[in-house]
A and B are shown apart, each in its own frame.
Chain A
């Protein structure tokens, strides 16, 4: 192997490069909007790989088509018909359709990761999440009265679409919070309030406040879970059976406080966000069972994880504003802390 030397002197050592002022991308504050876009892409990649599980390629009630057809129940006739129509297609061509579905999700994940295709990928993720919400989640159980936030209502996949809108790329500052960068603080706060307002209502309507229904929600997830999670499930089931209504009201209060939290001073907002994240992380584990992923029969991690990410996107950034686009001085990574290897 030969190297074509052109008489360029080797650069100084890394230590020397990092000791003085240097104006490259590594000096720039971390672009938090981009970071959250990549987190969203990571979740899409997880979904894509979950789509490659063997049972997804099979027919029957335990296969992907059976899972889709199961979402039709409880919905109005014409909606149920569309869901079953999709399920029939998947039943007849399970390998082609599942490969296609996985391929689209890979496309979204890689598309978001690659900056040149970021916007088309985010647009596709919005369309795809709406499609999955309709055909794959049966509209999140909204029409069957089973859309309790405990179970991921009104549909975990909707949060993918919502995040895609809020993280749509734009120039500007990540302040006062990342979600405001594209749509503006007022619109972002309104979206937040409406979202959490809907969650508040869903806690209190339908089967969401019935102890037996909440118990059955967890009991339905119990099968196939690892021992420690199954043990936790049994505790949750017992809790819901005895305090289901109180739990629903408590969650509604938390959602209502969270809805209003963004209109309060930043410090108070942070407290409400922490409260929401802790509560929904607990729900994600103890009720949603990570979306059923650990039982080997899920296509996504359900809404709990996405709600936590959404809350982080609304985290108020304190400290002096930065002149740099997308700047967040408290997230600056000093060049000394970025070793090449």
Chain B
């Protein structure tokens, strides 16, 4: 009996890559349409997806750890700055950028305190069947719980796609989505203005799903590092 369910790690690695690919698509669409809302979150998710896949499957990891550490440090600072900016603009509240700052922090911690690897060490970050990390288990559990909470509250949010990724759908087209019912007619009308590709790729629930998958994958990795 193998102690490590490799199929499970492959499954999560594939899910992480799927999220990365999806966010990369959104990013390309944004650049193509010169619509820059949410690009920072997409970049973060692309990086996190690729890095997480390499953590679940050692063979898929690449690049020196210090590059990833630098990358996630920069992302963390960026999202902290955006959170502060949001608080200054809208008053005291818990800005959604905070969860992305926390996710970047978690990624940074996972690289700074990597777990022991099985099946061959890699110069890059590889943590398949990870265990024995020097990351404090209490911090890992706290971070994991925050990510699970974010996943659940995102799933339950009536504001699909509007608060999580800096949606790619034009802001005014999301009025119907935010209100939930869209029974006033105007919401329906505004929604029809969204492009065909947007309606397929930038569906709010897809954006939410990518965030949920990323949160659960990252939470699982943190639990595995305990």
Contact = CB atoms under 8 A, between A and B. Distances in A.
Interface of A: 1-6, 8, 10-11, 14, 24-26, 34, 38-39, 41-42, 45-46, 49-50, 52-55, 57-59, 94-95, 109-110, 112-115, 226, 228-229, 290, 293-296, 333, 336-341
Contacts of A10: 172
B224 A113 contact: no
B29 A1 contact: yes
Contacts of A341: 37-38, 86, 96-97, 162-163, 166
Interface residues on B, range: 35 or more
Contacts, number: 150
A228 B137 CA distance: 10
Interface string B93-123: 1011100000000000000000000000000
Contacts of B163: 340-341
B178 A26 contact: yes
A58 B155 contact: no
Contact of B156 (A50, A113, A337): A113
A137 B3 CA distance: 24
Given A4-B195, A340-B159, 6 more contacts: A11-B172, A52-B223, A113-B155, A113-B156, A293-B137, A339-B89
12 contacts: A5-B193, A26-B178, A42-B152, A49-B144, A49-B223, A58-B1, A94-B1, A109-B152, A115-B156, A226-B138, A293-B141, A339-B95
A226 B148 contact: no
Interface in B180-198: 180, 186, 189-190, 192-198
Contact of A339 (B2, B90, B148): B90
A337 B91 contact: yes
B149 interface: yes
B218 to A, nearest CB: 10
